[in-house]
Amino acid sequence: MLLIHRSPRAANAVHTVSPSGELFVAGVVIFMILASFADAIDPAVFGQAVPPEFSLFDFGDEFSVLGLCHWNLLQFVTAGSLLSGAVFVLRLGGSRACKVLRSASRRALSKVPI
């Protein structure tokens, strides 16, 4: 008797969700899992010095995978939307680039303006 079940689209959200909406939620989930990864790393294991493999993640204290353990939902949602936006732009740019680079078919060769 959930309210959302009055809407068939919402009740079948896993099928009716748009690709961009799905990408956004997937981004949020990825950041949530990364935050739990940061939570799972015990800083005491490494002492004061952070070894090189972890410093790769560390782009300063503010933007770091290790710093994700303090993130809240607002940050997850913002990061998820940024990530999905970036993927969307990359996909769009990539498809445009591929379209330009693709050679014309032999049949259409005579129609290619030179």
Partner 1 sequence: MESQLLSAASLSALLAIVLIDLVLAGDNALVIGLAARNLPRQAQRKVIFWGTFVAIAVRALMAILVVYILALPGFMLAGAIALVWIARKLLTPDPDAAGSQAAVVPAVSFAVALRTIVVADAIMGIDNVLGIGGVAAGSILLIVLGLAISVPIIVWGSHLVIRLVDRFPSIILLGGAVLAWTAYSMIVREPLLAPWLADHTAAKLVIAILAFSIALAPWYSARLSEDRKPLVVLLPALLVWLLGFEVAAGIWNIEMRYLRAAQTGEYLFQAARWLGWLPLAVAFLWLREQIVARRRTTARG
The residues that bridge with 58 in the sheet, in sequence order, are: 64
The reply to whether 54 sits near partner 1 by the rule CB under 8 A is no
By CB under 8 A, name the one of 56, 58, 63, 75 that touches partner 1.
75
Residues, the chain, total?
Answer: 114
Which region among 22-30, 59-67, 87-95, 99-107 touches partner 1 (by CB under 8 A)?
A: 22-30
Question: Residue 38: which of 27, 50, 25 has the closest Cα?
Answer: 50
Closest distance of CB 97 from partner 1, Å: 27
Tokens of 46: 């490494």
Read off the amino acid at residue 93.
Answer: G
Question: Residue 63: which of 50, 40, 83, 79 has the closest Cα?
Answer: 79
The reply to whether 18 sits near partner 1 by the rule CB under 8 A is yes
Calpha distance 91→76 (Å, rounded): 22
The reply to whether 21 sits near partner 1 by the rule CB under 8 A is yes
Which region among 11-19, 53-61, 91-99, 102-110 touches partner 1 (by CB under 8 A)?
A: 11-19
Closest distance of CB 39 from partner 1, Å: 5
Query: Which spans of this chain sit near partner 1 (rule: CB under 8 A)?
Result: 1-18, 21-22, 24-25, 28-29, 32-33, 36-37, 39-42, 72-77
